[in-house]
């Protein structure tokens, strides 16, 4: 059965079966696509229930229920119903809390898309993690009101991996569990997403060396609010290396390449 056919079946289930009570939650729109002549399929991250995908019936022509509410990055209060066993929520209406605003700017759009895509791919549907919602809201707000610096992006990535349950250990060797020293050789094992010291490195392994300054800078960024992370600066030469390290760590948990990476590359 095609995806479109599956959606039709789900919609028929909503029509034929009884749905649960109406629910409401603050949410950020992650992605939207057209379905048929009047409807939209919307994926959104809620503060209370986690990520959901729903159908907004008549959304293309709605001037009241969904007006200006279904664009990516938009923060809304979504009213919806669910049915046990159904893969789609039935979206009743949305109240606009914060519009796209400054994120229509091409550079801000590209970096905002990057944050949204990362969160979308690292979250499963129906698993509420309030910290992930708060992080995405904080990240989009930071991009709206200032530049997406290298330190802001790395700080976001580190906190995202932490809240998603994939936090990299940057202070101890993954093999001998002894503290890592920024003065000694440190290597990233990209196959396992771990960091190892020189003593534990097998010369036959294909590992990525990490400079001491890069390791120290990433460790310092992990606990910082994004507004403070943005004010930090990487030491000379460390920004590109930190981006490569984080790209390797994130790649282990991405099901597909990020489209926003091409948008960001086109800005340069």
What is the model's pLDDT at position 110? 97
Of 99, 134, 155, the residue at which a domain comes to its end is 99
Residues in the chain: 268
Name the DSSP letter for residue 182: T
pTM for this structure? 0.90
Burial class (CB in 10 A: 0-12, 13-18, 19+), 180: buried
Residue 154 to residues 10, 70, 104, 168: CA-CA distances in angstroms?
39, 28, 23, 13
Q: Is residue 180 part of a domain?
A: no
Predicted pLDDT at 1: 44
Q: Which two tokens stand for residue 192?
A: 């396992």
- CA–chain centroid gap for 183, Å, is 33
| pLDDT tier at 6, thresholds 50, 70, 90 | very low
Instruction: Please check whether residues 122 and 14 belong to one and the same domain.
Output: no
- Do residues 49 and 77 touch, judged by C-beta distance below 8 A? no
40, 67, 76, 267 from 93: Cα distances, Å: 12, 9, 10, 36
pLDDT for the residue 9:
46
CA angle, residues 175, 181, 185, in degrees to nearest 5: 75
- 144 with 13, same domain: the answer is no
Residue 175: per-residue pLDDT:
94
Which residue range(s) make up the domain with 19?
3-99
Q: Among 61, 80, 99, give the residue marking a domain's end.
A: 99
Q: Is residue 261 part of a domain?
A: yes
Both 127 and 248 in one domain: the answer is yes
Same domain membership, residue 193 and residue 66: no
- pLDDT above 70 as % of the chain: 93
Contacts of 104 (CB under 8 A, 6+ apart): none
Asked whether the CA dihedral 177, 181, 185, 188 is positive or negative, the reply is positive
Q: Which of 44, 77, 99 is the last residue of a domain?
A: 99
Among 9-18, 64-73, 195-204, 225-234, whose mean pLDDT is lowest?
Answer: 9-18
Tell me: do 130 and 226 sit in the same domain. Answer: yes
* pLDDT at residue 2, rounded to an integer: 54
Residue 268 CB contacts under 8 Å (≥ 6 apart), including other chains:
none
**In the predicted model, is pLDDT for residue 31 greater than 50?**
yes
pLDDT tens by residue, 142-188: 999 999 999 999 999 999 999 999 999 999 999 999 999 877 789 99
CATH number at 73 reads 2.40.50.140
262/226 same-domain check: yes
How far, rounded to the nearest angstrom, does the alpha carbon of residue 244 sit from its chain's CA centroid? 18
CA distance linking residue 104 with residue 245, whole number of Å: 29
Examine the domain organization and report whether 139 and 240 are in the same domain: yes
Closest by CA to 218, choosing from 232, 206, 236, is 232
Do 88 and 23 belong to one domain? Answer: yes
Q: How many CA atoms lie within 13 A of 223 on its CB side?
A: 2
Please determine, for residue 57, whether its predicted confidence score (pLDDT) is greater than 60: yes
Predicted confidence band of residue 15 (pLDDT cuts 50, 70, 90): very low
pLDDT digits (tens, 9 = 90+) for 68-118: 999 999 999 999 999 887 889 999 999 999 999 999 999 999 999 999 999
Q: What is the CA radius of gyration of the chain?
A: 21
Q: Which residue has the tokens 């049915």?
A: 83
Note whether 243 and 191 are same-domain residues: yes
The domain tally of the chain equals: 2
Give the side-chain half-sphere CA count within 13 A for 2: 3
Q: Is residue 11 part of a domain?
A: yes
Are 25 and 157 members of one domain?
no
Q: Does some domain include residue 174? A: no
């Amino acid at each position: 059965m095609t995806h479109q056919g599956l959606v039709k079946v789900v919609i028929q289930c909503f029509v034929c079966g009884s749905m649960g009570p109406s629910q409401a939650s603050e949410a950020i729109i992650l992605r939207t696509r057209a379905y048929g002549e009047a409807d939209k399929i919307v994926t959104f991250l809620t503060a209370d229930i986690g990520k959901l995908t729903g159908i907004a019936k008549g959304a293309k022509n709605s001037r009241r229920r969904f007006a200006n509410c279904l664009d990516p990055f938009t923060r809304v209060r979504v009213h919806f119903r669910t049915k046990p066993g159904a893969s789609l929520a039935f979206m009743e209406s949305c109240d606009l809390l914060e519009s796209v605003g400054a994120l229509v700017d091409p550079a801000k759009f590209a970096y905002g898309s990057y944050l949204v895509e990362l969160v979308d791919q690292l979250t499963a549907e129906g698993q509420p993690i309030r910290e992930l919602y708060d992080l995405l809201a904080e990240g989009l707000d930071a991009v709206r009101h200032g530049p997406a610096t290298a330190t802001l992006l790395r700080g976001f990535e580190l906190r995202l991996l932490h809240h998603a349950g994939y936090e990299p250990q940057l202070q101890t060797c993954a093999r001998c569990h002894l503290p890592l020293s920024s003065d000694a050789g440190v290597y990233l094992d990209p196959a396992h997403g771990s960091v190892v010291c020189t003593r534990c490195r097998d010369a036959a392994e294909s590992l990525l060396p990490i400079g001491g300054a890069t390791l120290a800078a990433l460790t310092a960024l992990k606990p910082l609010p994004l507004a403070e992370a943005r004010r930090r600066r990487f030491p000379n030469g460390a920004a590109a290396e930190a981006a490569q390290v984080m790209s390797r760590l994130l790649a282990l948990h991405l099901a597909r390449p990020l489209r926003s990476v091409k948008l960001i590359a086109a800005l340069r």
